[in-house]
A and B are shown apart, each in its own frame.
Chain A
Amino acid sequence: SQELEQSPQSLIVQEGKNLTINCTSSKTLYGLYWYKQKYGEGLIFLMMLQKGGEEKSHEKITAKLDEKKQQSSLHITASQPSHAGIYLCGADYTGANSKLTFGKGITLSVRP
């Protein structure tokens, strides 16, 4: 969706390196969801952010939502081959959480 831009489009990193990917919205978000997808498979839920300035972590992945609630970053520390895949952000623009608008996704490759 043009409302939700993800950057970069793709990323190749060396195993062990840190990385950050971004999701930028053209309008205020009520909620921002991060999903990961392995090739040929469904989406796996990572985290959901709702409050401005909110930050959540799970294992080596940290996601943040800015104060204005229009941009989110996802940071991976000490990347591993298991982190490879497509990362998608999904936006709740309605406040009712009843449907999500997704970005185009970021393809992450991790070189051993």
Chain B
Amino acid sequence: DAGITQSPRHKVTETGTPVTLRCHQTENHRYMYWYRQDPGHGLRLIHYSYGVKDTDKGEVSDGYSVSRSKTEDFLLTLESATSSQTSVYFCATWVGRGAQDYTFGSGTRLTVV
């Protein structure tokens, strides 16, 4: 276990409110990722980071922003939550070239009402 902690584990929020999800890792992995998992869509990449302050968009980045000010923390922000953002969000880390497996957190279940 690479020591990934996602917080909160569950959250219910209202439409239009900002929400920030946190991913914290203790293994000093270079790469960090945010995915969302929805029925019928599988896992889709939202944003990822390849170093401190280095981030890039994934396939479903609209409505989301990220920040990585420290190696260990990767924040996902929903600026103004919508019901379509109700999902399970997973953080993952990867140490870098030469490593085979990506390590996933336990997920955050977000409900936007």
Please report A residues at the B interface, Cβ cutoff 8 Å. Answer: 1, 33, 35, 40-45, 48, 88, 90, 96-105
Provided the pairs A41-B106, A99-B33 are in contact, do residues A48 and B100 lie with their beta carbons within 8 angstroms?
yes
From residue B93, how far is it (CB to closest CB) to chain A in Å?
11
Q: How far is the CA of A96 from the CA of B100 in the complex (A)?
A: 12
Q: Answer whether residue B94 sits at the interface, using C-beta atoms and an 8 A cutoff.
A: yes
Which residues of chain B come closer than 8 Å to A101, judged between CB atoms? 45, 59
Whether A97 contacts B97 by the Cβ 8 Å rule is yes
- Residue of B whose beta carbon sits closest to that of A104: B42
Determine which residue in A40, A41, A97 has the highest number of CB atoms from chain B within 10 A of its CB, and name it: A97
Q: Answer whether residue B64 sits at the interface, using C-beta atoms and an 8 A cutoff.
A: no
Determine which residue in A43, A45, A90 has the highest number of CB atoms from chain B within 10 A of its CB, and name it: A43
Which residues of chain B come closer than 8 Å to A99, judged between CB atoms? 31, 33, 45, 48, 58
Whether A42 contacts B107 by the Cβ 8 Å rule is yes
Which residues of chain B come closer than 8 Å to A97, judged between CB atoms? 94, 97, 99
Whether A42 contacts B43 by the Cβ 8 Å rule is no
Provided the pairs A41-B107, A98-B50, A100-B102 are in contact, do residues A1 and B42 lie with their beta carbons within 8 angstroms?
yes
Q: How far is the CA of A46 from the CA of B41 in the complex (A)?
A: 21
Which residues of chain A come closer than 8 Å to B31, judged between CB atoms? 98-99
From residue B35, how far is it (CB to closest CB) to chain A in Å?
8
Q: Find A42's partner among B41, B90, B94, B100 (CB 8 Å cutoff).
A: B90
24 A–B contacts, CB within 8 A, in A order: A1-B59, A33-B101, A40-B107, A42-B90, A42-B104, A42-B105, A43-B92, A45-B100, A48-B101, A88-B43, A96-B97, A97-B94, A97-B99, A98-B50, A99-B31, A99-B33, A99-B45, A99-B48, A100-B45, A100-B102, A102-B44, A104-B41, A104-B42, A105-B43
From residue A54, how far is it (CB to closest CB) to chain B in Å?
12
Q: A42-B106, A43-B92, A99-B45 are in contact. List 12 more A-B contacts (CB 8 A).
A: A1-B59, A33-B101, A33-B102, A45-B102, A45-B103, A97-B94, A98-B31, A99-B33, A100-B102, A101-B45, A102-B42, A105-B42
